[in-house]
Amino acid sequence: MQLRSFVELGDLRGSMPASAVPAAPTFLNVSRRAFLEALGLSGAFVLATASAARAAETWPTGGDAMPHGLVIDPKVFVAIAPDGTVTITAHRSEMGTGVRTSLPMVLADEMGADWAKVKIIQAPGDEPTYGNQDTDGSRSMRHHIQSMRLMGAAVRMMLERAAAGAWGVPVERVEARVHEVVEKGGTRRAGYGELAKAAMDLPVPAIKDIVLKPESAFRYIGKGVPLYDMKAIVTGKAIYGTDVRLPGMLFAVAVRPPVYGGKVKSFDARAAKAVPGVVDVIEIPGTPEPAAFMPMGGVAVVAKTTWAALQGREKLKVEWDDGPNASYDSDAYRKRMSEIAARPGKVVRNQGDVEKALAAAAKVITAEYYQPHMAHATMEVPNATAVVKNGRCECWAPAQSPYAVRKDLAKFLGLDIKDVTVHVTLLGGGFGRKSKGDFAIEAAYLSKVLGGVPVQMMWTREDDIRHGYYHTTSVERIEAGIDDKGKVIAWRHRSVAPTILSTFAPAEYQFPIELGMGLVDNPFDIPNIRCENGPIKNHVRIGWFRSVSNIPRAFAVQCFVAELAHALGRDHKEFLLELIGPPRKLDPLEMGIEGELWNYGDPYEVFPIDTGRLRAVVELACEKAGWGRRMPPRSGLGLAVHRSFLTYVASVAEVVVEKDGTVRIPRIDTAVDCGFPANPERIAAQFEGAAVMGMTLCFHSAVTFKNGRAEQSNYHDYEMVRMTNFPREVRVHIVPHRYTTPATGVGEPGVPPIAPAIANAIFAATGKRIRELPIDTRLLREA
Amino acid sequence: MAIGFRLNGREVRVDAPGDMPILWALRDILNLTGTKYGCGIGACGACTIHLDGKAVLACVVRLQEVAGREVTTIEGLDPDGNHPVQRAWAQLGVPQCGYCQTGQIMRAAALLAEKKNPTDAEIDEAMAVNICRCGCYQRIHAAVRLAATGV
Ligand code: FES
Ligand code: FES
C-alpha cells in the first residue's frame, strides 16, 4: 500500500495569477478513494468504528455523530514530496476563524513538520472522503483537534519506521525531530523528503497503536503560527468566491421576490436585453415555501460584465405575486410576540413548582426584551460560479458546507452526486449565511440554461439585506419571584420567536437546538425554574446567525439579572455569582427539561454545564476590568456571562455616554474558557471581532418589514460599527488549560455577552434601562 | 471607445462604457480581483484604490474619470507584500476573513503617503470609510500606527 503519490500543486493562494482558476486537487483524492475501495479498506480509519482501542488522552466528541463523521486517514490528508514539502489538506472552510491554518498546524506539529515547509490545499466538498465538512456551530477545533493529532502522529511513526528500516536498526533507536529523523546516539539522519517514499510504502498504524507526543514537546499547538493565507490576503491574491475567473465566463445578477414566498407573475425583458453587454434574461424557478436552501426564484440578467448585468437589471420590469406573507409588518409582529409571551406557552423545562413559588413570593419582577431580525451582511456577498455541461456540474463557491451544496446541486439539477464537484474558495465572512447554497444553485441553473457557459452569480448588497436567511426576531419575557430575604425562588422565562425549523418545514415552535441555546440550559441555582415557548409563524426565511438564539437569550437573561440586582440593592457581580451558585456540574435529569438537553451535539459527560468554570470567567473578567472601580459621571461598567457552544465567556464593558446619547466603549475585557487553547492568537482575534459585532448589533442591526418587504437595503441603512466609534481596546483573557481539557470552539461564543454587557454598562452610566435592540441612543441624551 | 490610463505603472486601454465604475473594469475585464465589491454605493471601502495617489472608491469612480490618470490597485502596491502597511498587517495578524483588507491596506497606504505620522483621530477618520464585518478595527488601528512608526 502506498500513500498517494505527490503531485506538485503549487501554492494555490500565493502564486496564482488573479485570472487563474483555483485548481482543486479533487482527482487525487477521488482516485485515492477508489484505490482504497478496491482494497476494501475505505473507512478503515473512520474513528466512529474504532471504539475502545484508541491512543491515550482521547475523548469522545460529537464529531463521530456528524454526517460522515470523522475520517482519520493520513493518506487522505497528508502528502510528502521528495523535496520535503508537506502538503496538508484543509477540509473545513476558512471564513475568518483561522481554521485553515489552525487544524493543519495541529497535524504539522504532531508529525514533526517544519511549518515553513508546509503547504495547505483546500478539499472540495467530499464528505465520504474527508468526513464532515460542515463548518458551523463552532465545531472545527472541538471535533478535529484529536483527529489531526492522530494523523500527524501516524505519519511521524511511519517516517521513523522507514528510517529504522533503511538503517537496519530497531525503531526504538530512531527519533523524529523537526522535519527529519535521527538515529539516537548515532550520526545518521534523514530528512522527511528522503524518507517519504519508503514511509509511504508502510502501512498506517492502527489507531490503538498511535503514540501522541507529550504536551511538553508541542512546538505550534497551543502557541500558534502565522496565518497561512496572510501574504495572499495582503497582496490581493487571495481567491474568494467572487474572484473566480474562468475563460468566457458571464456575470449574473437577479431580482428576487420582494416578499418571501412570492412568485414572478410576468416580466418584460426587452429593455434589459437592449443594454450593451447583456447576453440573456432568464427566469429562475422558485421553490414553494418552505424552500430550505433552494432558490427563492426570480429573474436573472446575464451579461459580459457585472456592470452590464446591473444595468440590465435596472431596466427589467417584473410583476410579482406577493403571496401570503405580503402583510408581514415588524411592528405588528412584535406586538403579537409580546401578547403570546404574556400567556402560558408550551412548557419546555419545568423544575420545581414555579406557579406556587411565584404566588408565595414577596415580590415579583417582570421584564420583556426584544430583538429584531438581523442580516449577516458578510463582507463578501453571497456568490458562486458554475459550469454545467455534458451531464456534469462544476461549481466554485464560498461555502461553509460544501458537501451540502453539492447534494443540493445534484438534487436541483437531477444529476448523480458523482457528477457534481464543489470547489471551496476562501469565504469573505460566513456567519451562517454561507451554510446555505441557494446562490450556488442559481449560478448552476443559469449555466445549464446557457448550455454550459461558466456563470458567476453575484448577489448585490441590496439582495443580501433584502433576501437573507435572517436571524430570528424574538421576545423574551422573564419573571422572577423573590422571597422576603431577597432570594430568587422562582424564574419563569417565556420565549417567542419564529423558528429556524420553519425554513425546512411548517413549524411554529422552536426545536431543541434553539431551546438549548440559553433557555432550558439556564444554569442558575434557583429551585423553581420554568421555561415556556409560545407559537408563532415565520414570514421570512429564518437562518442561523453567528451564535444564533444565544444572542437574544444572553441579552434578556443577563440584563434581567442586572435589573434584579439593582432592584435588590445588590452588587451585580456578587448577585450573579449567587444566582450561578456553587461550583458544580449540572445534572440535566434534575433540571426538568422536556426531552433531552441539546448540548451542541456533543456528549454531556465530556462537556457538562460546569458552574465552576462559569464562575471563574466572571471572576477573571471582573478582576481584569477592575470591577467596582469608581467611574466618572455618565460612565459605567457592565457585566454579562454566557455559556454557548460549550465555551464559557464573560465580558465587562466600559462605556461613556456622551451628551448627545452617543455611546463610546473605551474598553471591553472578555474572559474565555474554551478548554485547551490550541491557537491563542486566533482565539483572541475571534473575541476581538465578536466585541465589534456585538457592538454593531447593539446599536445598528435591524432588518424590519413593511408589507412583507425589508425596509433596509445596504450599509447606509443597515450600518456597521466603524472606526469612528468602535470598542477601543478589547482585552481577551484566555483561561489556561492543559491539552486534556477538551478544546471547544470560539467562532461564535464571543458574541452573546457583548450586547448585555454594554446595555448594563449604559444603565450604570445613565440609569436608563435597555430592553430592546438595537439601542435607540436618542433616549440616552442628557436631559 | 477604449479608455486609456496608467494601471500599476503600465499603460492600459479598456474597451468599455465610460460610465462603468472602474471597479468592474478592474475585476471583470482586467481580471484584477484584489479590489473588492462590498456595497456598490460608496459606503464600505472594500473597493478602495489609489487615483493619482489618493484613496478613492472604485465602485463610484467612473472609467471616463480615470482617463489619462494613474491608478494603483492592491496588485500594484507591492506584489511581494513588502510595503510598510502590508508588513505591519502581517506582523500584527490583522486579517480574519481578509476580504476587506485590500481596501483597508490601500486606504492606510494613502493616508500614510499624505501624513507621515497621523494622530489617532486622523487614523480613525480616514479608516472609518472602510467597514470590516469581522471587526478587526483594533488591529487595523494598531497596524496603521506601526506602519507609520516603522516596522
Ligand atoms: S464597494 Fe465601493 S465603497 Fe463599498
Ligand atoms: S477581515 Fe473579514 S471583513 Fe475585514
Per residue, the 3-state secondary structure of A620-688, as one string, reads HHHHHHCCCCCCCCCEEEEEEEEEECCEEEEEEEEEEECCCCCEEEEEEEEEEECCCCCCHHHHHHHHH
For residue A731, the chain B residues in CB contact (below 8 A) are none
Cis status of the peptide bond prior to A774, with omega within 30 of 0: yes
Run of H or E including A225 = none
Residue B14, strand partner residues: B3
- Report which residue type is found at A637: L
C-alpha dihedral over B142, B144, B148, B151, to 10 degrees?
Answer: 70
3-state secondary structure A363-391: EEEEEEEEECEECCCCCCCCEEEEEEECC
Q: Which atom of ligand 1 is the closest one to the Cα of B43?
A: 3
For residue A679, the chain B residues in CB contact (below 8 A) are none
Residue A630: which residues within 8 A CB-CB, separation 6 or more?
Answer: none
d(CA A243, nearest CA chain B) in Å: 5
Run of H or E including A163 = helix A140-167
d(CA B145, CA B126): 13
**Could you read off the pLDDT of A556-601 as tens digits, one per residue?**
999 999 999 999 999 999 999 999 999 999 999 999 999 999 999 9
Residue A531, strand partner residues: A349, A493
Would you state the pLDDT for residue A58?
87
Residue A150, C-alpha cell as written in the block: 492522530
d(CA A630, CA A374): 36
Residue B144, C-alpha cell as written in the block: 496603521
d(CA A60, CA A611): 22
d(CA A632, CA A116): 51
Query: Does A226 sit within 8 Å of B39, measured CB to CB?
Result: no
d(CA A111, CA A157): 8
For residue B103, the chain A residues in CB contact (below 8 A) are none
Query: Distance from the CA of B131 to the center of ligand 2, in angstroms?
Result: 8
Residues in chain A predicted with pLDDT less than 70, given as ranges, are 1-57
d(CA B30, CA A21): 15
What is the number of residues in chain B? 151
d(CA B77, CA B83): 7
Cell 440550559, residue? Answer: A521
Alpha carbon A69 to its chain centroid, in Å, reads 18
Residue A194, C-alpha cell as written in the block: 528522503
Residue A267, strand partner residues: A318
Query: Does A726 sit within 8 Å of B138, measured CB to CB?
Result: yes
CA distances from B87 to A14, A229, B83, B149, B151 (A): 16, 14, 6, 12, 7
Q: Would you call A730 an interface residue with chain B, using a CB distance cutoff of 8 Å?
A: yes
d(CA A63, CA A73): 15
- The residue-averaged pLDDT of B48-72 equals 98
Residue A119, strand partner residues: A87
3-state secondary structure of A336: helix
> Does the CB atom of residue B44 touch ligand 1 within 6 A?
yes
Q: What region does A142 belong to: left with phi over 0, alpha with psi -120 to 50, or beta? A: alpha
Residue B66, C-alpha cell as written in the block: 480615470
- Report which residue type is found at A33: R
Residue B151 binned pLDDT confidence (cut-offs 50, 70, 90): low
Would you state the pLDDT for residue A200?
86
Q: Which atom of ligand 1 is the closest one to the Cα of B39?
A: 4
Residue B80, C-alpha cell as written in the block: 511581494
d(CA A5, CA A245): 29
Q: Please check whether residue B55 is in contact with residue B48, taking contact to mean a CB–CB distance below 8 angstroms.
A: yes
Query: Does B96 sit within 8 Å of A98, measured CB to CB?
Result: yes
Alpha carbon A650 to its chain centroid, in Å, reads 19
**Strands laid side by side in the A455-458 sheet:** A278-284, A298-303, A250-255, A455-458, A383-389, A392-397, A420-424
Q: Please check whether residue A591 is in contact with residue A531, taking contact to mean a CB–CB distance below 8 angstroms.
A: no
Ligand nearest to the CA of A238: 2
Query: Does B34 sit within 8 Å of A237, measured CB to CB?
Result: yes
Residue A252, C-alpha cell as written in the block: 449574473
**Could you read off the pLDDT of A236-283 as tens digits, one per residue?**
999 999 999 999 999 999 999 999 999 999 999 999 999 999 999 999
The two beta strands, A420-424 and A392-397, are: parallel
Ligand nearest to the CA of A380: 2
For residue B41, the chain A residues in CB contact (below 8 A) are 461, 714-716
Would you state the pLDDT for residue A219?
98
Question: How many other CB atoms sit within 10 Å of the CB of residue A493?
Answer: 26
Q: Would you call A106 an interface residue with chain B, using a CB distance cutoff of 8 Å?
A: no
Would you say residue B122 has pLDDT above 50?
A: yes
Residue A121, strand partner residues: A89
Query: Angle between the A754-766 and A550-567 helix axes, to the nearest 10 degrees?
Result: 30
> Quick check: ipTM above 0.90?
yes
Q: Please check whether residue A287 is in contact with residue B8, taking contact to mean a CB–CB distance below 8 angstroms.
A: no
d(CA A163, nearest CA chain B) in Å: 38
Q: Please check whether residue A680 is in contact with residue A218, taking contact to mean a CB–CB distance below 8 angstroms.
A: no
Geometric angle at alpha carbon A557, from A733 and A364, rounded to 5°? 140
d(CA A755, CA A763): 12
> Does the CB atom of residue B46 touch ligand 1 within 6 A?
yes
Q: Please check whether residue A235 is in contact with residue B79, taking contact to mean a CB–CB distance below 8 angstroms.
A: yes
pTM of the entire predicted model = 0.94
Q: Would you call A378 an interface residue with chain B, using a CB distance cutoff of 8 Å?
A: yes
* Phi and psi torsions of B40, nearest 5°: 75, 0
Q: Please check whether residue A314 is in contact with residue B19, taking contact to mean a CB–CB distance below 8 angstroms.
A: no
